[in-house]
């Protein structure tokens, strides 16, 4: 009996081995800007396929591609005209299949961007909905509008689009308003229509059949709006007094247009679909990443409700949303804790420091702190998410108001567009010092290449023994060590403007030292972490540090230099 019991325990131990996605560093590719293979100034699928070995070499577990589907490109692919067709600028379905094949050959996972909230107004679904052709009539949210006291027609509610101005647009053909929570050309789908739910599940299955490993799900909190009342009307949202301009998105509090309870169930249904797919077809777990800028409480619900599972990786935007250049070690400590303490014990943490919607890491926190943040991203427990270019410390590129193409910038006034423009973080990837940074053989790229490309590019950094890229590679390798595979952060300490934490596993004892301040601090690491040895070895450190990798230093007098991050290990 006892023997059976012991065998049982061992088996449970074995079956609980980590799933492939649990500790990966996942990489976001912005396809328009990654690599152009045909010289038209726009990145494409063959370009991505060509660079897969690079991703493998720098230790990436899988990459998600911002949308590659047929699109008028009003929101650069987030306005989809056909979920099943590859946008010609990116290539063909054959190219995509070839990309998947190559990725599988080298053990790289590929995820697609699934954009469920809206289509393009150039989608056949929308065109048929305008004409009330069944079954499309109610695929979108339509309303007659209201007639005001002067007999004028007005939008049904005060709802404001994320890109400014009314979220309702009049359609002259159907003689009704439709809802668009983003650009006018991005009509919101109606998830209260079961046909839309089925339709979108079929889209997921379509791409799973082609061999993708999962999806990043876009703009999740926007999927549902409050249900219309019995007369088909919707309520106004309360006004935010701190944001007086009615055209600004912040003018209304999003209690009826975001974070509706039904959203979570939809994510659970998609999770079920992916789990079922694995059961039926075998292969590795297909995973879901969810993009939701929302409260931590809501964020947690995407993981599941205790009975049903949801997202595998609910993007953690705590650091991106609440920290900046001036944030202190105490601030980072607080936001790391708030996430780690709130997520359910059985889920995997994740850390996001950059994406195509935010200013670049090096510009947000200062170029000198590029390595410090990459060290933090890669040494915290769980998944790390890297936006293309952050591994070499690419910076934002200034783009004039006249040259801006991002709809979020173009809908804003010239005197304040820069704060919201997403173009600066979307410029072409810097591969080498040749024409257009080796991104394209064309004379022009769709967004300008950063001027510093001759001194900041992959080729140069891979040839140099000391570079952001070398630090990054060390880190992705380090993540494979047992100490970084656990869910726990051992002690974590704030010392002035330095954040220190310990990761331990299989006899290895690592300390991570992150000095957010400008001044050096001499710290007795041994006193702070009694379990380490008196002497420690430098595993990796920011490029400007006076320490070198492999150097053995005195842990009792460790100099944490300003804006430097370092990983050391007990020897
Ligand atoms: C997501 C995308 C963003 C896009 C928006 C509308 O937030 O990341 O780029 O504009 O959704 O699809």
pLDDT tens digit sequence for 297-307: 999 999 999 99
Q: Measuring from atom 1 of ligand 1, which residue has the nearest CA?
A: 219
Q: What average pLDDT does range 172-184 have in this prediction?
A: 98
What is the structure's pLDDT at 14?
40
Please tell me the predicted confidence (pLDDT) of residue 127: 98
Within its chain, how far is the Cα of 465 from the centroid? Answer: 30
pLDDT above 70: residue 197: yes
pLDDT of residue 5: 42
Residue 523 has pLDDT above 60, yes or no: yes
| Test site for ligand 1: of 33, 72, 73, 75, most ligand atoms within 8 A of the Cβ | 75
User: What is the torsion angle, in degrees rounded to the nearest 10, for the CA atoms of residue 65, residue 70, residue 74 and residue 76?
Assistant: 20
Condensed to tens digits (0 to 9), the pLDDT of residues 70-94 reads 999 999 999 999 999 999 999 999 9
The predicted pLDDT at position 17 comes to: 62
Instruction: State how beta strands 25-29 and 62-65 pair.
Output: parallel
What pLDDT digit, counting tens, does each position of 77-136 carry? 999 999 999 999 999 999 999 999 999 999 999 999 999 999 999 999 999 999 999 999
The whole-number pLDDT of residue 357 equals 98
Mean pLDDT of 483-505: 95
CATH of region 124-179, choose from 1.10.645.10, 2.60.120.560, 3.40.50.12160, 3.90.400.10: 3.90.400.10
Distance 162 CA to ligand 1 centre (A): 10
Average pLDDT, the chain: 96
pLDDT given at position 488: 87
pLDDT in tens, 406-422: 999 999 999 999 999 99
pLDDT given for residue 490 in this prediction? 87
Within 8 A by CB and 6+ apart from 177, the residues are 142, 143, 144, 145, 155, 156, 168, 169, 170, 171
In this structure, what token pair is assigned to residue 253?
A: 């509090």
Task: With CA atoms as reference, report the closest residue to 330 among 489, 498, 490, 564.
Answer: 498
CA distances from 94 to 54, 90, 194, 207 (A): 22, 11, 32, 13
Listed by start position, the domains of the chain span: 25-117+194-475, 124-179, 488-570
Specify the fold of 488-570. Immunoglobulin-like (2.60.40)
List the CATH code of the domain at 25-117+194-475.
3.20.20.80
pLDDT at residue 7 is higher than 60: no
User: Could you tell me if 143 and 122 are in contact, meaning their C-beta atoms sit under 8 angstroms apart?
Assistant: no
Out of 74, 354, 357, give the residue to mutate to test ligand 1, the one with the largest number of ligand atoms within 8 Å of its CB. Answer: 357
Per-residue model confidence as pLDDT tens digits over 369-412: 999 999 999 999 999 999 999 999 999 999 999 999 999 999 99
At 15 the pLDDT is: 39
CA-nearest residue, atom 11 of ligand 1: 219
Establish whether domains 25-117+194-475 and 124-179 are of one fold.
no
Question: Residue 368 above 60 pLDDT?
Answer: yes
């Amino acid at each position: 009996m006892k023997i059976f019991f012991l065998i049982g325990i061992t088996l449970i131990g074995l079956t609980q081995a980590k799933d492939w996605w649990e500790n990966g560093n996942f990489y976001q590719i912005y396809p328009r800007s990654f690599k152009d293979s045909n010289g038209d100034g726009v990145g494409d699928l063959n370009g991505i396929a060509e660079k897969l070995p690079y991703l493998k070499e720098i230790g990436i577990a899988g990459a998600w591609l911002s949308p590659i589907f047929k699109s008028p490109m009003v929101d650069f692919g987030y306005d989809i005209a056909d979920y099943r067709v590859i946008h010609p600028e990116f290539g063909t379905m054959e190219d995509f299949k070839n990309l998947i094949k190559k990725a599988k050959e080298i053990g790289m996972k590929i995820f697609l961007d699934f954009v469920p909230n809206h289509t393009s107004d150039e989608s056949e679904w929308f065109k048929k909905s305008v004409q009330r052709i069944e079954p499309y009539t109610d695929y979108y949210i339509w309303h007659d509008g209201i007639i005001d006291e002067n007999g004028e027609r007005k939008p049904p509610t005060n709802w404001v689009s994320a890109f400014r101005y009314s979220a309702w647009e009049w359609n002259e053909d159907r003689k009704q308003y439709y809802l668009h929570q983003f650009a006018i050309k991005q009509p919101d789908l109606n998830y209260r229509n079961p046909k839309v739910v089925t339709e979108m599940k079929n889209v997921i299955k379509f791409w799973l059949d082609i061999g993708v490993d999962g999806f990043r799900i876009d703009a999740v909190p926007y999927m549902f709006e409050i249900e219309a009342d019995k007369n088909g009307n919707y309520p106004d949202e309360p006004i935010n007094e701190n944001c007086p301009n009615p055209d600004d998105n912040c003018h209304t509090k999003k209690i009826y247009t975001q974070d509706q309870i039904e959203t979570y169930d939809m994510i659970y249904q998609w999770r079920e679909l992916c789990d079922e797919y694995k059961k039926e077809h075998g292969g590795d777990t297909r995973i879901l990443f969810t993009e939701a800028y929302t409260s931590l409480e809501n964020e947690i619900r995407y993981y599941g409700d205790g009975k049903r599972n949801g997202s595998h990786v609910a993007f953690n935007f705590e650091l991106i949303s609440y920290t900046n250049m001036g944030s202190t070690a105490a601030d980072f400590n607080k936001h790391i804790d708030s996430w780690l303490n709130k997520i359910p014990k059985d889920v995997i943490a994740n850390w996001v420091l950059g994406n195509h919607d935010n200013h670049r890491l090096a510009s947000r926190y200062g170029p000198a702190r590029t390595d410090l943040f990459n060290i933090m991203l890669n040494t915290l427990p769980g998944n790390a998410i890297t936006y293309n270019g952050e591994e070499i410390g690419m910076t934002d590129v200034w783009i004039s108001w006249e040259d801006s193409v991002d709809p979020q910038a173009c809908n804003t006034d010239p005197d304040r567009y820069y704060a919201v423009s997403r173009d600066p973080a979307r410029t072409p990837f810097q591969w080498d010092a040749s024409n257009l940074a080796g991104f394209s053989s064309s004379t022009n790229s769709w967004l300008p290449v950063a001027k510093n490309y001759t001194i900041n590019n992959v080729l140069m950094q891979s040839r140099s023994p000391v570079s952001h890229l070398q630090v990054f590679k060390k880190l992705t390798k380090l993540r494979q060590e047992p100490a970084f595979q656990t869910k726990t952060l051992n002690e974590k300490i704030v010392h002035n403007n330095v954040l220190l934490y310990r990761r331990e596993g299989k006899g290895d004892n690592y300390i991570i030292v992150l000095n957010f301040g400008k001044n050096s601090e001499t710290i007795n690491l041994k006193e702070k972490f009694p379990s380490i040895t008196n002497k420690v070895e430098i595993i990796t450190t920011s490029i400007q540090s006076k320490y070198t990798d492999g150097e053995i230093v005195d842990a009792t007098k460790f100099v944490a230099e300003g804006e430097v991050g370092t990983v050391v290990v007990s020897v």
